[in-house]
Structure 1
Amino acid sequence: MARYLTIIMTIVCAWAMAGCNEIEEAVKDAKKDGSAPPKDNYMVLLDLSDRILYNNQQQVPKDIQVIQSIYAAFKSKLNAKDPTRLYFTVNDKLKLMVAPQRTTSNEVYDLAGNLRLTLASAQPEQKAKMLEETEKNFNTLLPQMYKKAVISNNSTSYAGADIWKYFNEDLQDDLEKDAQNTLFIITDGYMDFESLQGRTSRNNRYTSCVQIINNLKKAPDWNSRFKEGDYGLLPVNKRFPNLKVIVLELNPKDDWTGEYNLLTTIWSKWFNEMGIKSYAFIKDDNINEINESIEKLLKVKLPSSANITSVSWTPVTESDPEITKAAKNRTNTQIQPTETPTVIENAPEAAPKKENSKSYNSYSSYAYSEPAEVIKKEKNVKEREYIRTSAVKSQIDTSSIHLRTNPKKPISKPKEQVTFGPAY
Structure 2
Amino acid sequence: MKNFLYTLSLSLMTSFLLTSCKEEKTKEKPKPSNYTVIIDLSDRILLPEQLDKDFYLIDKYFKIFEENSRRNLVLTSKNRFSVKIIPQKNSPLNVEHYEDMLQLYLDETDVKNKNKSLLTLSQSLPKILKALKKEALFGKVSNAYFGVDIWAYLHDNGLELSKNGYDNTVLVLTDGYFDFESQTHVIQNKKQYTSTRFLNELTATDWKQISELKEYGLLPIKLEKNTNWIIAGLSGKKASDILQTEKITYFWKKWLTQSGVITSQFILNGSKTDMGSNLLEQLR
TM-score by length of 2: 0.84
Please report how far the alpha carbon of residue 176 of structure 1 lies from its aligned counterpart in structure 2 after TM superposition: 0.6
Higher-Rg member (1/2): 1
Q: CA RMSD in A?
A: 1.8
Asked if 1:50 corresponds to 2:43, the answer is yes
Checking the alignment, whether the CA contact within 8 Å between 2:42 and 2:148 is kept in structure 1 is yes
Answer yes or no: is the 8 Å Cα contact 1:162–1:191 preserved in 2.
yes
User: Deviation per CA, 1:194-240, whole angstroms, max 9, x where unpaired?
Assistant: 4545533342222322x1211002x121111111100001222x232
Tell me what 1:172 maps to: 159
Structure 2 residue corresponding to 1:283, chosen from 259, 268, 276: 268
Distance 2:207 2:172 in 1: 26
Q: How many residues are matched?
A: 256
CA contact (8 A) 1:41 1:182 kept: yes
Structure 1 residue corresponding to 2:193, chosen from 173, 184, 206: 206
The equivalent residue for 2:34 is 41
What one-letter code is carried by the residue in structure 2 that aligns with 1:213? Answer: L
Shift of 1:292: 1.3
1:297 is aligned to 2:255: no
Quote the Cα distance in structure 2 between the aligned partners of 1:113 and 1:130.
13
Alpha-carbon distance in 2 for matches of 1:116, 1:36: 25
Q: Which structure would you say has the larger RCO, counting Cα contacts within 8 Å and 6 or more residues apart?
A: 1
**Deviation at 1:274?**
0.9
- Aligned CA distance change for structure 1 residues 196 and 113 (closer, same or farther; 3 Å): farther
Among 76, 79, 102, the residue aligned to 1:92: 79
Q: Distance in 2 between matches of 1:110 and 1:183?
A: 21
Change (3 A) 1:109 1:197: farther
Greater per-residue strand proportion: 2
**Aligned residue number for residue 146 of structure 1:** 133
Q: Secondary structure at the match of 2:228?
A: strand
Is 1:224 the counterpart of 2:217 in the alignment? no
Consecutive unaligned residues of structure 2, counting only runs of 5 or more, are 1-27
Compute the TM-score of the two structures, normalised by the length of structure 1. Answer: 0.57
Identity rate, percent: 29
Could you tell me how far apart the structure 2 residues matched to 1:239 and 1:152 are?
33
For the 8 Å contact 2:93–2:135, the answer to whether it is kept is no
Residue equivalent to 2:66? 75
Counterpart of 2:176? 189
Contact 2:93 2:136 in 1 (8 A): no
**Can you list the C-alpha shifts for 1:311-343, whole angstroms capped at 9, x where unaligned?**
xxxxxxxxxxxxxxxxxxxxxxxxxxxxxxxxx
Counterpart of 2:267, as a letter, is I
Secondary structure in 1 matching 2:76: coil
Secondary structure of 1:263's match? helix
- Equivalent of 1:61, from 47, 52, 63? 52
- Partners of 1:192 and 1:275 lie apart in 2 by 23
Question: Where in structure 2 are the equivalents of 1:242-257 lying within 5 Å?
Answer: 242-253=226-237, 254-257=239-242
Residue number in structure 2 paired with 1:132: 119
Q: Which residue of 2 aligns with 1:318?
A: none
Contact 2:235 2:269 in 1 (8 A): yes
Question: Does residue 239 of structure 1 match 2:223?
Answer: yes
Q: Is the 8 A contact 2:220 2:256 kept in 1?
A: no
SS at match of 1:246: strand
Aligned equivalents of 1:239, 1:98: Cα separation in 2:
18
Q: Relative to 1, partners in 2 of residues 1:36 and 1:123: Cα closer, same or farther, differing over 3 Å?
A: farther
Cα distance in 2 for residues equivalent to 1:224 and 1:124: 56
Q: Measure the CA separation in 2 of the matches of 1:46 and 1:284.
A: 14
Could you tell me how far apart the structure 1 residues matched to 2:103 and 2:61 are? 12
Asked if 1:271 is matched to 2:256, the reply is yes
Match of 1:258 among 214, 238, 243: 243
Structure 1: stretches of 5+ with no match in the other structure: 1-34, 300-424
Please report how far the alpha carbon of residue 51 of structure 1 lies from its aligned counterpart in structure 2 after TM superposition. 0.7
**Alpha-carbon distance in structure 1 between the residues aligned to 2:29 and 2:132:** 34
Aligned-pair CA distance for 1:72: 1.2
Cα distance in 1 for partners of 2:216, 2:200 equals: 12
CA distance in 1, matches of 2:96, 2:234: 23
| 1:45 aligned counterpart, secondary structure | strand
2:213 & 2:60 partners in 1: Cα distance?
Answer: 40
